């Protein structure tokens, strides 16, 4: 399998601020990678380097020529004040193929409907986005990413703010798209427990630290305790891994000083 | 009443052109939540006129001061490019505060400059405009500016919509979002700079906001918003004008009052539908 994206000793950040240093890894074709870490750790910085909207401060991030990303933004970043039908939003995924100054055709509309069928909400095509539930909105945005016939499906916090049922349905849908359509998937999330049971590999981004590997390599007590710097247990229930932090004594927060 | 209106028909044509152009651009202004950028640009435009009159009185500035619209256009376009490029969002100052600073500074500068200018009209002309003074030649100039702007918006509707609705996804699909924003803000600045000469800050601001709000309240699609916004902008101009002439009311505020009544009526209709 050839690499679609290659990080080679890349230092990532903004301006003079380094967020992640000396990052080297590849995203091969057919990968199902979860980019996991808390808010502010550098997930978005890494994602923006992959998508090309940010350049590394040093080293290289190489994207295979001709690669098409199907980007699914955070649901809340899509403004529901616009009175747009679901099918109109899905057609946006083909705008770059339609060309500058041209209008979508019947074919584009048919492809948008097909993409909506693929994610199970074709019946909502003519509804307005703002009338949809969180899970339905997420499916619509996934359909928009798919209609552009991407090489890599990139999802940014796809389950943020969703309940258990909607979360499970969306993650199952993404796994199906990977398994049945052979899509390479990159899923960004802060929720390790959610992502770990769906993806094949995990890239763990913590403040100043980065570790990537297969799920069974990353989801060990030794690795996670070392990365999170607190003792954690990894339990397996019916084939599902769950990470539980052990109770620890309250520590003074950074910046609180004690004097000897 | 009709005969009185007909005396001022040239001014009415001008008002209708301004209403049309601002109502179309106002849809983006309202949906993108940059209403006060429109107000700040209108104030910058008035500051540009003030600067031109002030410098002109001192006998400096050449073309920029002999034609105040040129200075107004320059200052407004600089403001449009500034806001289109992010409005100093990386400076740490909240975007709405930057807009507020621009608005306040430009408003004060316009008034101070005109008060010290040896030529020019009273500063309240900036606020109220002088729409009744418009001639066919003025309307022709307005058309020469607004027709290309509206054509750009017609041709690139899809692109403007996408970068307004979801800039992150547009960026990942290769859209040069900043360039599209600059074009959008540039067309906005162009229309505001020219409309300001005749309509004044208040009326331009009205046309940028109220018709689009009426459209947003009544329509269920983008095409519907544009249609209702244009129709309500034109209708408010027509009714406001028709009422202002025989009743000796200032035209600008009369048009704004009509726009406000339409927006309130739209809000009532929308509330009843729910």
CATH of the domain at B57: 1.10.3470.10
Q: In this predicted structure, what is the pLDDT of residue B133?
A: 85
A83 → closest Cβ in B156, B171, B219: B219
Number of structural domains (chain A) is 2
Indicate if A104 and A223 belong to the same structural domain.
no
Q: In this predicted structure, what is the pLDDT of residue B94?
A: 84
Phi and psi (nearest 5°) for B78?
-60, -40
Question: Residue B1 pLDDT more than 70?
Answer: no
**End position of a domain, from candidates A88, A122, A150:** A150
Q: Are B148 and B183 in contact (CB under 8 A)?
A: no
**End position of a domain, from candidates A95, A118, A150:** A150
Q: In this predicted structure, what is the pLDDT of residue A257?
A: 43
| Domain extent for A35 | 1-67+154-165+190-260
Q: Are B77 and B145 in contact (CB under 8 A)?
A: no
Interface of B with A (CB under 8 A): 31, 33, 155-156, 158-159, 161-162, 164-166, 168-175, 216, 219-222, 224-225
Q: In this predicted structure, what is the pLDDT of residue B201?
A: 87
Give the count of Cβ contacts less than 8 A between chain A and B. Answer: 68
- For residue A189, the cross-strand partners are A36
Chain B residues whose beta carbon lies within 8 Å of the beta carbon of residue A82 = 31, 161, 164-165, 222
pLDDT category, B111, cuts 50, 70, 90?
Answer: confident
Please tell me the distance from the alpha carbon of residue B207 to that of residue B30, in angstroms, as a whole number.
11
**Nearest-by-CA chain B residue for A92:** B162
- Tokens linked to A28: 């091969």
Indicate if A81 and A144 belong to the same structural domain.
yes
Phi and psi (nearest 5°) for A61?
-125, 110
The verdict on a CB contact (< 8 Å) between A92 and B165 is yes
What b/e sequence results for A179-208 when a residue is b if at least 16 CB atoms lie within 10 Å of its CB, and e otherwise? Answer: eeeebbbbbbbbebebbbbbbebbbbbbee
Indicate if A90 and A62 belong to the same structural domain.
no
In a domain, A178, yes or no: no
Closest approach of chain A CAs to the CA of B83, in angstroms?
Answer: 20
The verdict on a CB contact (< 8 Å) between B31 and A148 is no
Determine which of A57-61, B53-57, B216-220, B255-259 has the lowest per-residue pLDDT on average.
B53-57
Indicate if A161 and A254 belong to the same structural domain.
yes
Indicate if A145 and A158 belong to the same structural domain.
no
What order of strands is seen across the sheet that includes strand A17-28? Answer: A17-28, A3-14, A58-63
Chain B residues whose beta carbon lies within 8 Å of the beta carbon of residue A79 = 31, 165-166
Q: Does residue A184 sit in helix, strand or coil? A: strand
Indicate if A158 and A252 belong to the same structural domain.
yes
Strand pairing of A17-28 and A209-214?
Answer: unpaired
Q: How far is CA A126 from the centre of its chain?
A: 27
ipTM, 2 dp: 0.87
Q: How far is CA B244 from the centre of its chain?
A: 21
Indicate if A159 and A48 belong to the same structural domain.
yes
A83 → closest Cβ in B170, B174, B222: B222
Portion of chain B with pLDDT greater than 90, in percent: 62
In a domain, A174, yes or no: no
In a domain, A185, yes or no: no
**Nearest-by-CA chain B residue for A97:** B173
Taking the Cβ of residue A198 and every Cβ of chain B, the question of whether any pair is shorter than 8 Å is answered with no
Residues 6+ apart with CB under 8 A from B93: B101
Strand pairing of A232-237 and A240-245?
Answer: antiparallel
Strand pairing of A58-63 and A32-36?
Answer: unpaired
Closest approach of chain A CAs to the CA of B163, in angstroms?
Answer: 10
Q: Which residue has the higher pLDDT, B120 or B239?
A: B239
pLDDT category, B165, cuts 50, 70, 90?
Answer: very high
Q: How does pLDDT run along chain A (260 residues), one tens digit per residue?
A: 579 999 999 999 988 888 999 999 999 999 999 999 888 888 989 999 999 889 999 999 999 998 999 999 988 888 889 999 999 999 999 999 999 999 999 999 999 999 999 999 999 999 999 999 989 999 999 999 999 999 999 999 998 888 888 899 999 999 999 999 889 999 999 888 888 889 999 999 987 689 999 998 888 888 888 888 888 888 888 888 888 888 777 766 554 444 43
Indicate if A38 and A159 belong to the same structural domain.
yes
Please tell me the distance from the alpha carbon of residue A168 to that of residue A162, in angstroms, as a whole number.
9
The verdict on a CB contact (< 8 Å) between A82 and B219 is no
**End position of a domain, from candidates A150, A176, A206:** A150
* Interval B185-214 mean pLDDT: 93
- In which element (H, E) is residue B251 found? helix B251-273
pLDDT category, B119, cuts 50, 70, 90?
Answer: low
* Interval B44-71 mean pLDDT: 84
Closest approach of chain A CAs to the CA of B262, in angstroms?
Answer: 20
Tell me, what CATH number does A256's domain have? 3.40.50.300
In a domain, A172, yes or no: no
Indicate if A50 and A161 belong to the same structural domain.
yes
Indicate if A39 and A103 belong to the same structural domain.
no
Question: Residue B180 pLDDT more than 50?
Answer: yes
Question: Residue B227 pLDDT more than 90?
Answer: yes
Closest approach of chain B CAs to the CA of A157, in angstroms?
Answer: 14
Indicate if A12 and A116 belong to the same structural domain.
no
Q: In this predicted structure, what is the pLDDT of residue B4?
A: 67
Give the pLDDT confidence of B59-92 residue by residue, as tens digits: 887 777 778 888 999 999 999 999 988 877 777 7
Number of structural domains (chain B) is 1
Chain A residues whose beta carbon lies within 8 Å of the beta carbon of residue B155 = 101
Indicate if A59 and A9 belong to the same structural domain.
yes
**Nearest-by-CA chain B residue for A86:** B221
Closest approach of chain B CAs to the CA of A257, in angstroms?
Answer: 29
Nearest to A112 by CA among A123, A122, A127: A122
**Cα separation of the two ends of chain B:** 39
The verdict on a CB contact (< 8 Å) between A101 and B159 is yes
| Domain extent for B230 | 2-273
Nearest to A195 by CA among A242, A136, A146, A143: A242
Helices B251-273 and B222-244 sit at what angle, rounded to 10 degrees?
140
Q: In this predicted structure, what is the pLDDT of residue A255?
A: 46
């Amino acid at each position: 399998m050839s690499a679609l994206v290659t990080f080679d000793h890349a230092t990532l950040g903004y301006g003079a601020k380094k967020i992640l240093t000396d990052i080297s890894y590849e995203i091969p074709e057919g990968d199902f990678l979860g980019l996991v870490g808390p808010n502010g750790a550098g997930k978005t910085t890494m994602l923006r380097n992959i998508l090309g909207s940010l350049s590394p401060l040093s080293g290289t991030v190489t994207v295979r020529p001709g690669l098409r990303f199907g980007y699914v933004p955070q649901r809340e970043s899509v403004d529901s004040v616009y009175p747009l039908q679901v099918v109109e939003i899905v057609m946006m995924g083909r705008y770059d193929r339609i060309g500058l100054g041209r209008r979508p055709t019947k074919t584009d509309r048919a492809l948008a409907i097909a993409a909506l069928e693929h994610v199970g909400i074709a019946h909502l095509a003519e509804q307005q986005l703002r009338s949809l539930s969180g899970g339905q909105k997420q499916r619509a945005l996934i359909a928009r990413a798919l209609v552009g016939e991407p090489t890599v499906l990139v999802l940014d916090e796809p389950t943020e703010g969703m309940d258990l049922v909607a979360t499970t349905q969306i993650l199952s849908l993404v796994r199906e798209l990977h398994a049945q359509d052979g899509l390479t998937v990159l899923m960004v999330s802060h929720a390790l427990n959610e992502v770990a049971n769906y993806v094949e590999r995990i890239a763990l981004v913590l403040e100043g630290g980065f570790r990537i590997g297969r799920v069974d390599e990353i989801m060990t007590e030794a690795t996670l305790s070392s990365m999170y710097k607190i003792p954690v247990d990894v339990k397996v229930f019916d084939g599902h891994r769950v990470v539980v932090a052990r109770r620890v004594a309250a520590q003074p927060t950074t910046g609180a000083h004690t004097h000897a | 009443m009709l005969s009185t209106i007909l005396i001022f028909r040239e001014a009415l044509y001008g008002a209708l052109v301004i209403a049309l152009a601002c109502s179309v651009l106002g849809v983006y202004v309202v949906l993108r939540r940059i209403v006060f950028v429109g107000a700040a640009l209108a104030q910058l435009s008035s500051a540009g006129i003030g600067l031109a009159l002030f410098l002109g009185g001192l006998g400096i500035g050449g073309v920029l001061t002999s034609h105040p619209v040129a200075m107004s256009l320059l200052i407004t376009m600089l403001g449009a490019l500034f806001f289109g490029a992010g409005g100093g969002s990386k400076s740490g100052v909240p975007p709405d505060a930057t807009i507020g600073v621009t608005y306040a500074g430009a408003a004060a500068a316009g008034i101070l400059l005109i008060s010290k200018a040896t030529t020019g009209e009273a500063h309240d002309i900036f606020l109220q405009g002088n729409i009744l003074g418009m001639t066919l030649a003025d309307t022709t100039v307005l058309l020469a500016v607004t027709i290309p702007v509206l054509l750009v918006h017609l041709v690139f509707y899809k692109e403007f919509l996408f970068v307004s609705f979801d800039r992150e996804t547009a960026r990942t699909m290769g859209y040069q979002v900043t360039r599209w924003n600059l074009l959008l803000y540039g067309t906005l600045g162009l229309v505001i700079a020219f409309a300001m000469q005749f309509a004044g800050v208040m009326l331009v601001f009205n046309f940028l906001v109220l018709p689009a709000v009426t459209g947003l309240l009544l329509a269920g699609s983008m095409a519907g918003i544009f249609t209702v916004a244009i129709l309500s902008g034109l209708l408010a101009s027509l009714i406001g004008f028709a009422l202002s002439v025989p009743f000796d009311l200032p035209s600008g505020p009369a048009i704004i009052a009509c726009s406000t009544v339409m927006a309130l009526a739209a809000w009532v209709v929308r509330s009843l539908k729910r």
